[in-house]
Structure 1
Amino acid sequence: MVSAFSLAVSTGYAADDAQQVLRAGAAASNITPPLGEAVVGGFAPFPATNVHDELHARCLVLDDGTTRIGFVICDSLGISRDVFDQAREYIDAETDFPAENILMSATHTHSATRSSSENYSGFLARRIADAVRRAIANMEPARIGWGGVDEPSEVFNRRWYVTDPDLRKNPFGGADQVRMNPPRGSATLVRPAGPIDPEISFISVQSADGRPLALLANYSLHYVGGVNKGEISADYFGIFSKRIGELLEADDESFPPFVGMLSNGTSGDINNINFRNPSKRMEKYAKMRQVAELVARRVHEACGQVEYHDWVPLGSASRDLTLRVRKPDEAMLKYFEEVMAKPEDAPKHHRYERNYAQRVRRLYEGPDEISIPLQAVRIGDLGIAAIPFEVFCEIGLEIKEKSPFGDAFTIELANDSRGYLPTPRQHELGGYETWMGTNRVQHDASDRITETILELMGELSSKRPSAVTSRDE
């Protein structure tokens, strides 16, 4: 990881590519759900009673003359594959754009409603497809650049080694080695159980004459929060999307309007809380505004160093991977039968043991295997991974290190939503993100997913024109 700023610089593509023209378009569709839908993100959903700020599906499409790719970033906790697939069906039926080349993801705002509800899922799929159709209609000759800048002040690993055994209890009658979200400033804290990724990656797109068209950023921060109960909000992802346009001086009166976008990176074990030295609690929405402002300003500063290209090769490669579903053994089933047989007000080993009794039962009665969509996208010498889980940070760092491209990042909760993805090492430590029912797939799933993503990136990079990448240390 570079200390401050990284920039992809190309020495130029093949001579016959000089005549190629890159085209780009962007648009945003409102996906705010109706009031009364269940706000999810915790163990006890509650109805939405107000809208603090509207939710959107923000889309960017690119065309190099041969290949077309796209991104749709949705303000949602997580979106299941069937909703995304319905949107793809609309796109296939209504456009000639290859829907399989569109990376669709959720930001993971915790103040959105359940995407799979009967009252909302159809509307959501329709509006995702509409965003793509509108972005296609807005396509024009463009130029593109990308880079990254480190901002470690807003990302903290939330899994900690702690000395207090009561803090390490789990819903399965035992104890873990680490605790998610331990008490802030507690004397029981020892050290974080994993790394952070401080990089804010971004892709900047301009018209041929330099007018800002779109910017897609990526930061490995779970979400910020700090909202009023019952209020719908896009969290800091939405604030960033508006603020980056202001900083880039995008003309509010221009058409098509500038579209800012912020995707979630590998934040399965990362949040915004400095557990060792906690700050004072802030008024509702104040912290997310603070974080969005900082992230937007850092990206804006870095944009000034980007080299833009009139044309770059594009690519997308996808593959379904079959994974085994975790299943309880007889001892675990028996333990949870005893848990559920007790009165609800009986003393508990763990406050969520009844919740996990139900989750484990669903896994036991469900399928033995699932198929997950994996995707890699190429923009010049930039590789982007798409993984349908809340991905642990060290997985994203490994993909960056081993990617065949000069620059790379990962978008999580992409093309589906399948819970947490710890590494085998983190599974050994235990903790909330590794519990059966929070994590649903085999312990080595992250290894298999990383291997597949790197294979897909390898397929795309094998067609790469001659280029080099340099980084400012």
Structure 2
Amino acid sequence: PEEVFNRRWIMKPGSIPANPFGATDEQVQMNPPRASENLVEPSGPTDPTVSIIAVRRLDTTPLALFANYALHYVGDTEAAVLCADYFGYFAQFMAEHLAPEADSAPFLAMMSNGSSGNINNVNFREKGTSGAPYSKMSAVAQRVADEVYARYQELVFMDTAVLASAAQELELGVRKATAEELERAETILAAAEGPILKSSAEVFARESVLLKDFPDTVSVPLQAVRIGQVGIAAIPCEVFVETGLALRAASPFENTFTIELANGYNGYLPTIEQHAMGGYETWRARSSYLEVGAAEQIEAAMVGLLSQLHQ
């Protein structure tokens, strides 16, 4: 729980700048100034749970471990690099725990993204501190890996497990700009000084224009997987933590977790309540374009798939 924070904050009235579309009535700011006097409270919960599935050989040596954690990447890299972030460090540290010797049997660990569309590693109540590149992601991964290793000692392994999967294509609407909003966007782009867009108003104006050519609906691939008494919900969006918690509560399985950004990419997935509050994740763009209410429809469909596998 010390590593996960809701990054969407309710702010004092009048303290949030106008959004890229000119609106000044938003209640929520994503990644607000740290330790600001304008902070009121996070707009939602967190999910500190780490889910794991482990596989070992008949001789009991570890073979693989799959983990899931509802935390956005940490991102404290050097400039202009590709990085596996805390996911990669976690895999490394788990291998050091479970296959530490040079002659250890081959072992693979991996970490997947849980419902973390509105979750990151920043405690906005406190002022920020600087550290060496990669130090924060490494520390997060070490803490999670150490906890997983401790719980690994308590696992009860089974000789057999039911394996099953079900999938569904869900047709959902695309949010597009109105004629008036498109006109405003085109005016902003016409006034832009160069090919490189500089302001958020320019960037999101371009997004509005590009979304004009999107289909009115898109097919969103949903998948549920059963491994014994574990249910896995695979959703191709940046799923808000509220949806992940709701799926766990409604699932018929003893243990359930959500893998976000699975089998595709359909942008952020705010709940209806979070859409009403505004904020970056709700701003219409190729990174957030599904209809308001998409989260609730996806949740209902996923519960149906999980229930189907539980029969």
Which TM class, normalised by the smaller chain length?
over 0.9
Instruction: Pick closer, same or farther for the CA change 1:334–1:456 going to 2, 3 Å.
Output: same
Q: Which residue of 2 aligns with 1:219?
A: 69
Contact 2:46 2:241 in 1 (8 A): yes
1:62-461 equivalences under 5 Å are: 152-163=1-12, 165=14, 167-175=16-24, 176-255=26-105, 257-344=106-193, 351-437=199-285, 438-461=287-310
CA RMSD of aligned residues (A): 1.6
Letter in 2 for 1:291: V
State the AA in 2 paired with 1:341: A
Offset of residue 305 of structure 1: 1.1
Confirm or deny: 8 A CA contact 2:267 2:290 kept in the other structure: no
Deviation at 1:240, TM superposition (A): 0.4
SS of equivalent residue, structure 2 residue 172: strand
**What amino acid is aligned across from residue 205 of structure 1 in structure 2?**
V
Q: CA deviation at 1:333?
A: 1.1
1:15-35 deviations in Å (ceiling 9; x for gaps): xxxxxxxxxxxxxxxxxxxxx
The alignment partner of 1:451 has SS state of helix
Give the superposition deviation at 1:395: 0.3
Cα gap change, 1:376 to 1:343, in 2 (>3 Å):
closer
Matched letter for residue 203 of structure 1: I
Is the partner of 2:23 in helix, strand or coil?
A: coil
Secondary structure (helix, strand or coil) at the match of 1:305 reads: coil
Distance in 2 between residues matched to 1:369 and 1:228, nearest whole Å = 39
1:458 maps to amino acid: S
Task: Name the CA distance, whole Å, in 2 between partners of 1:433 and 1:168.
Answer: 15
Query: How many Å separate the matches in 2 of 1:271 and 1:250?
Result: 30
Cα separation, 2, equivalents of 1:166 and 1:336: 25
3-state DSSP of counterpart to 1:427: helix
Offset of 1:342 from its aligned partner?
A: 2.4
- CA-to-aligned-CA distance 1:343-390 (integer Å, 9 cap, x gap): 439xxxx93011111111111122111111100000111100000000
TM-score normalised to structure 2 length = 0.95
Query: 8 Å contact 2:189–2:206 — kept in the other structure?
Result: no
Partners of 2:66 and 2:111 within 8 A in 1: yes
Aligned length: 307
Distance in 1 separating the partners of 2:56 and 2:102 = 15
Hey, what's the Cα distance between the residues in 2 that align with 1:423 and 1:344?
36
Task: Find the residue that maps to 2:223 and give its secondary structure.
Answer: strand
Q: Distance in 1 between matches of 2:275 and 2:284?
A: 10
Range moving further from structure 2, 158-167 or 447-456 = 158-167
C-alpha distance in structure 2 between counterparts of 1:203 and 1:172, whole Å: 44
Structure 1 residue matching 2:132: 3-state secondary structure: coil
CA contact 2:224–2:306 (8 Å) conserved in 1: yes
**Equivalent pairs: percent with the same residue?**
45
In structure 2, distance between residues paired with 1:287 and 1:164: 33
Cα deviation, 1:58-98, whole Å, max 9, x if unaligned, reads xxxxxxxxxxxxxxxxxxxxxxxxxxxxxxxxxxxxxxxxx
For 2:74 and 2:13, locate their aligned partners in 1 and report how far apart those are by CA, in whole Å.
Answer: 27
Are the aligned partners of 1:168 and 1:431 in contact in 2 as well (CA < 8 Å)? no
Q: CA–CA distance in 1 between the matches of 2:10 and 2:305?
A: 36
More divergent stretch after superposition (333-342 vs 435-444)? 333-342
For each residue in 1:281-300, what CA deviation from the matched residue of structure 2 results, as whole angstroms up to 9, or x when unmatched? 11111111100100000101
**TM-score normalised to the size of structure 1?**
0.63
Q: Which runs of 5+ in 2 are unaligned?
A: none
Residue pair 2:13, 2:27 contacting (<8 A) in 1 also: no
CA drift at 1:279 = 4.4
Q: CA deviation at 1:251?
A: 4.4
**Whole-angstrom CA distance in 1 between matches of 2:231 and 2:158:** 16
CA deviations over 1:244-290 (Å, ceiling 9, x no partner): 111124544345x2001000000000000000023421111111110
Letter in 2 for 1:234: A
Q: Which consecutive residues of structure 1, in runs of 5 or more, have no partner in the other structure? A: 1-151, 463-473
C-alpha separation in 2, matches of 1:197 and 1:216: 18
Listed as ranges, the matches of 1:14-29 within 5 Å are none
